[in-house]
Amino acid sequence: MVFTALDWTIFLGYFVLVLAICFFFAKRAGRNIQNFFLGGRNLPWYIAGTSMIATTFAADTPLAVAELVGKNGIAGNWFWWNFILGTTLTVFFFSRLWRRSGILTDIEFIELRYTGKPAAFLRGFRSIYLGIFINCVIMAWVNLAMFKILRITMGWDNMWLVVSLCMLIVTIYSAASGLWGAAVADTLHFLTAMTGCIILAFVAVGLPEVGGIAGLKEKLDPQILNFLPSVAESTGNTDIVGMLQLTWPALFAYLGLQWWASWFPGAEQGGGGYIAQRMMSAKDEKHSLFATLWFNVGHYCLRPWPWIIVALVALVLYPDLGVSEKGDGFVLIIRDHLPSGLRGLLIAAFFAAYMSTIATQLNLGSSYLINDFYKRFLAKEASEKHYVKASRVTTVIMMLIALIITSLLETISGAWQFLVECGAGVGLVFLLRWFWWRVNAWSEISALIAPFIAYGYLKFYTNIEFPNSLFYIVGFTTVVWLVTTLLTRPTAEEHLKNFYRRVHPGGPGWRKIAALVPEVKPDGGYWAMCLCWLASVGLVYSTLFGFGKVILGEYGPGAALLGFAALMVLTLYLILSKIGWEQVGE
């Protein structure tokens, strides 16, 4: 592929625009760490929500979705579509609580909710574990994907030089602009990346070798186009039977366990990571709720269809790609079939997705290391300017660590699956810690350790494979943390009262503490919130499948699904209006 002057103009012009945004917000970010990490808690819902979507739109994500489609057809996306049940739960039950908590990071929640040495240990450990290990591994994975894109499309073979240059650019604007600049840039990144991928989908479908949507459907096995996996009888430990068939246990593991039980970045039960960071950065509780609702619609309904269409086209154009190379088909279409100008736009779009994810991971990881480790344990009385300077230095250090990890890795095969299994069972603790006073720091500590023990045993001593492994890991972890909770002392009563005064979560799990602070009015309207949750699940799934049906030319079913989505929007509006916004936060 020849990168023309027009391609370079578009590509470099995008960088200039992003850096201009970064320096515009640099002064605001430098005031204090609340401005640097949370944008002064003043982000409107559409900026905060779009920033969430853009962060999940990493450079590797279209390739990963293309690989899922290449292996298992459209239905392969149920690996992550099942998370809709959990992320919509966050909208109505947890977004307002995160905003109300007034904390800087989701790890700071640990000592807001618990007390004593176990809480301090848990906070310090998770700040290092998430801030360095998880974040830097995620960045390494994204770096590898970006390098693959540039290697295939532009022939750049020096991974160290290419990745270093990419990360340097992102680190400069992330360290300078803080969350406000990153969030505004994220909006630009999302628009650029979506525009580029939509154009790519149109170009790919219109190729003579494909023949439009009708030609695409004729050239593919009909099973590949199924939105729902077919279900087969169980055959031992194998979760895939033939091309697209799940066993009943495997299907139940996805829809009955994974969404609420397994921790996964970006789909944390009750919110966490950059999702919690954006919720806490919103103007108020109402903006936090709408930001998270918009994230669910944009993340699941808008983003994936251009990727899926291009992945289907790749199956037609490159039928000989191996199983591990299915994701490459997405990039090969860019290289082989886009004209000058559009190539530059698509590479800029991928780099936009890359920058959005890396900038967020750098900012989030730095917030953990500074707020939850450095400020908490090493430099408790330093000035705000000192913490901002330390945050910028930490951002650069994290960039270097991520580069080292990138240089050591060839692939992160099965990383999504590994994270789901090693976080299986933790999700229930993350949900209940908001609504049951008896959960304590030892509950979380034991729930974090138990999955690794169960995972190791299953991998070394049995033939049980994912997703059937979730039944065993979730069961073991749940028993461990519940027994640990009942055998250890509860959090100090005065600390629980202070937490309740600040967050007033409500529900039967807090009756004992609520009786001690009768002056605090607890949250209510939980049955209405349950109805809102169910309506939002219906909204997201019907919109997701409705768009898909329309794109594939099945207009009748598509219109019916989108009509149902409109009905769900009306239902949400009527419920929220009836109970009053005081129930969901002003």
Question: Is the pLDDT at 362 greater than 60, yes or no?
Answer: yes
- Quick check: is 190 in a domain? yes
Question: Is the pLDDT at 27 greater than 50, yes or no?
Answer: yes
Per mean pLDDT, which range of 115-129, 374-388, 560-574 is the poorest? 374-388
- Reported confidence tier of residue 324, pLDDT bands at 50, 70, 90: low
pLDDT of residue 414: 54
- Quick check: is 233 in a domain? yes
CA geometry: angle at 477 spanning 475 and 479, to 5°?
A: 70
pLDDT of residue 390: 86
Which domain range does residue 372 map to?
Answer: 5-411
Structure token pair of residue 302: 């808008």
Q: 272 φ, ψ to 5°? A: 180, 175
Neighbours of 84 (CB within 10 A): 21
* Higher-pLDDT residue of 229, 296: 296
| Burial class (CB within 10 angstroms; exposed 0-12, middle 13-18, buried 19+) of 554 | middle
Question: Is the pLDDT at 369 greater than 80, yes or no?
Answer: yes
Q: Are 337 and 343 in contact (CB under 8 A)?
A: no
Here the CATH number for the domain that contains residue 187 is 1.20.1730.10
CA geometry: angle at 441 spanning 438 and 443, to 5°?
A: 65
What is the distance between the alpha carbons of residues 147 and 166, in angstroms, rounded to a whole number? 9
pLDDT digits (tens, 9 = 90+) for 274-320: 888 888 888 888 888 899 999 999 999 988 999 999 999 999 998 88
Structure token pair of residue 81: 């579509």
What is the distance between the alpha carbons of residues 432 and 261, in angstroms, rounded to a whole number? 12
Give me the helices (H) in 206-341, please. Answer: 212-219, 248-252, 259-261, 273-281, 285-297, 304-317, 328-337
Residue in 400, 406, 353, 448 with CA at minimum distance from that of residue 137: 406
pLDDT of residue 243: 40
Percent of the chain with pLDDT over 70: 86
* 431 SS3 class: helix
- Reported confidence tier of residue 336, pLDDT bands at 50, 70, 90: confident
What is the distance between the alpha carbons of residues 159 and 144, in angstroms, rounded to a whole number? 8
- Quick check: is 518 in a domain? no
Question: Is the pLDDT at 244 greater than 60, yes or no?
Answer: no
* Higher-pLDDT residue of 4, 47: 47
Neighbours of 264 (CB within 10 A): 20
- Reported confidence tier of residue 526, pLDDT bands at 50, 70, 90: confident
pTM of the model: 0.85
Concatenate the DSSP letters of all residues of 361-401 into one string.
HHHHHHHHHIIIIIIIII-TT--HHHHHHHHHHHHHHHHHH
- Quick check: is 101 in a domain? yes
* 247 SS3 class: strand
Q: Whole-number mean pLDDT of the chain?
A: 83
Per mean pLDDT, which range of 15-29, 449-463, 525-539 is the poorest? 15-29
pLDDT digits (tens, 9 = 90+) for 481-512: 999 999 999 999 999 999 999 998 888 999 99
- Quick check: is 340 in a domain? yes
Q: Are 84 and 529 in contact (CB under 8 A)?
A: no
* 66 SS3 class: helix
Q: Work out how many domains the chain is built from and give that number.
A: 1
pLDDT of residue 545: 96
Which residues pair with residue 230 across a beta bridge? Answer: 245
pLDDT of residue 474: 93
- Quick check: is 553 in a domain? no
- Quick check: is 502 in a domain? no
- Reported confidence tier of residue 40, pLDDT bands at 50, 70, 90: low
Count Cα atoms within 13 angstroms, Cβ side, for 511.
2
pLDDT of residue 481: 96
- Quick check: is 433 in a domain? no
pLDDT of residue 323: 62
